[in-house]
Amino acid sequence: MPTVVVPTASAAYAAALGLLAALLTVRVILGRVRTGVQFGDGGDAPLRRAIRAHANAAEQVPLALLLIVLAEALGTPAAFVHALGAALLLGRALSAFGLSRSVEASQPRQMGAGLTVLVVVAAALLIALRLLMAR
């Protein structure tokens, strides 16, 4: 049975991503106050972008962060955990920045999506490797 490691490195990234999510939530709230629109986007482009930036983070962060935490808990070295966490944080910040400017394709948005997918794949492979090594 593997030794359980307290995931302190990934916890730092969870905290940072939580703050990013709170910032994105506040942007939606302020957009709703500004427009008076309480559901949907009311056809307001800035509100639509704020909603998508928030929703995109809500769609992508949970799985990626869970995989990082599990990889760390299974004993993945801290350097790898930090690399994954930093890449996820950067990717989500780039994506939020790109979506905040336009809902169309943009370099920051594409880079953010690419980094996020890379983190998910790398963390999943690290978990699989750790589990195979434990056998």
Residue 94 has a pLDDT of 96
pLDDT by residue (tens digit) across 22-58? 999 999 999 999 999 999 999 999 999 999 999 999 9
Question: What are the tens digits of pLDDT across the range 57-74?
Answer: 999 999 999 999 999 999
The domain spans of the chain are 8-133
Tell me which of 24 and 99 has the higher pLDDT.
24
Percentage above 90 pLDDT, the chain: 86
Cα–Cα distance between 13 and 17 in angstroms, integer?
6
- pLDDT, position 4: 60
Burial string for 92-130 (b: 16+ CB within 10 Å, else e) reads bbbbbebbbeeeeebebbebbbebbeebbebbeebbeeb
Q: How confident is the model at residue 109 (pLDDT cuts 50, 70, 90)?
A: very high
Averaged pLDDT, 120-126: 98
pLDDT given at position 104: 81
Indicate the CATH number of 8-133 among 1.10.3720.10, 3.30.750.24, 3.10.20.30, 1.20.120.550.
1.20.120.550
